Amino acid sequence: MTDNILNIEGLCKDRGKTRVLHDVSLTVSPGERVALLGHNGAGKSTLIKIVLGLTPGNGGTISVAGHKPGSGAARSATAFLPEAVSFHPALTGREQMKLFASLSGEKADIPGLLDRVGLGDALDRRIGTYSKGMRQRLGLAQVLLGKPQVALLDEPTSGLDPISRQDLYAIIDELADGGCAVLIASHALTEVEARTDRIAIMRKGHLVANDTLEGLSAKAGLKTRLRVRATQNADEIASQIGGTRINGASVEILCGPDEKMAELRRITALGEAVADLEITPPRLDDLYRHYAKEGVQ
């Protein structure tokens, strides 16, 4: 398992008498972007805190770039963007970045970094005057400090407008291209827009899924919805191809991924009788809901 920069195996965590993480195993290799999804309280933030060494785990092993979590070497290799990041309001963006740069022992081009995240104009303004989105961008800028081998981003998109979110993903892609292993925690699949290589879903402290988006869709076997609009007689179409009539002129068919092409061929064979065809694949939300609500495997 030497090619994985982040290696979590059989991790458990107790808070008081309740177990909040059950035997979680997850690996991320260099250049890979992994989304860690789950409801609030599913254990995502706890997992990240343990990887950062901020709180100890109760059993299981973790290695960060080959080091124990929380050790100096592991912390040097890791960049972290906390959920709802905040800074001291009296410092300016430049001063805060300077502090982080000296803490990590890096000589960084701070104006360049802040330009990269779109804060070039706010360089010497106090963080107290920043908007939520600007603070989030500053948080992202400190992730880029140095060359992290592992980046842990906890809800990085919260408080960002759609354009900023696009910028964020561009930066994450850049990080990954540079060989950084990126773990993005989020509470919904739509938030990460599936722009990740692999998706891990947590539910009540258990890891219930860990696969690519395609793999997850195939395993979930969610139905694709085909809606056929009839030129004249919807009843006739319904009787020929099955499915349910949903209004005067349309018929709806639900089919699995492997039946889809066969269904389509049958529909096109009807020729003139079909006026229009609408295909709705399962949405990211449906997929996430399927895994997050499903019983523990």
Which CB, 71 or 166, lies closer to another protein?
A: 71
Name residues contacting another protein, limited to 239-278 (CB under 8 A). none
Q: Tell me the per-residue interface mask from 27 to 56 with another protein, x by CB under 8 A, - otherwise.
A: ----------------------x--x-xx-
**Residue 48 CB, nearest distance to another protein (Å)?**
9
Q: Which two tokens stand for residue 222?
A: 């969610």
SS3 of the chain: the string is CCCCCEEEEEEEEEECCEEEEEEEEEEECCCCEEEEECCCCCCHHHHHHHHHCCCCCCCCEEEECCECCCCHHHHHHEEEECCCCCCCCCCEHHHHHHHHHHHHCCCCCHHHHHHHCCCHHHCCCEHHHCCHHHHHHHHHHHHCCCCCCEEEEECCCCCCCHHHHHHHHHHHHHHHHCCCEEEEEECCHHHHCCCCCEEEEEECCEEEEEECHHHHHHHHCCCEEEEEEECCCHHHHHHHHCCEEEECCEEEEEECCCCHHHHHHHHHHCHHHEEEEEEECCCHHHHHHHHHHCCCC
Mask: binding to another protein, 66-95, rule CB under 8 A, as x and -?
------xx-xx-x-xxx-xxxxx-xx---x
Residues 124-163 close enough to bind another protein by CB under 8 A: 126, 139, 142
Q: Which is nearer to another protein, 90 or 246 (CB)?
A: 90
Q: Identify residue 17 by its one-letter amino acid code.
A: K
- Subset of 226-245 contacting another protein (CB under 8 A): none
Q: How far is the CB of 221 from another protein (least distance, A)?
A: 40
Taking the least distance from each CB to another protein, the nearer of 44 and 203 is 44
Which among 17-25, 99-107, 156-164, 254-262 is the span making contact with another protein, rule CB under 8 A? 99-107
C-beta separation of 48 from 20 below 8 A: no
Mark the segment that binds another protein (CB under 8 A) among 103-111, 164-172, 236-244, 262-270.
103-111
Q: Which of 12, 20, 99, 273 binds another protein (CB under 8 A)?
A: 99
Q: Apex CA 77: angle with CA 72 and CA 82, to 5°? A: 95
Which residue's CB is nearer to another protein, number 16 or number 248? 16
Size of the site for another protein (CB under 8 A): 31
Shortest CB 87 distance to another protein, Å: 6
Q: Minimum distance between the CB of residue 88 and another protein, rounded to whole angstroms?
A: 6
We find the least distance from the C-beta atom of residue 234 to another protein, in angstroms, to be 57
Binding residues (CB under 8 A) for another protein: these are: 49, 52, 54-55, 72-73, 75-76, 78, 80-82, 84-88, 90-91, 95-96, 98-100, 102-105, 126, 139, 142
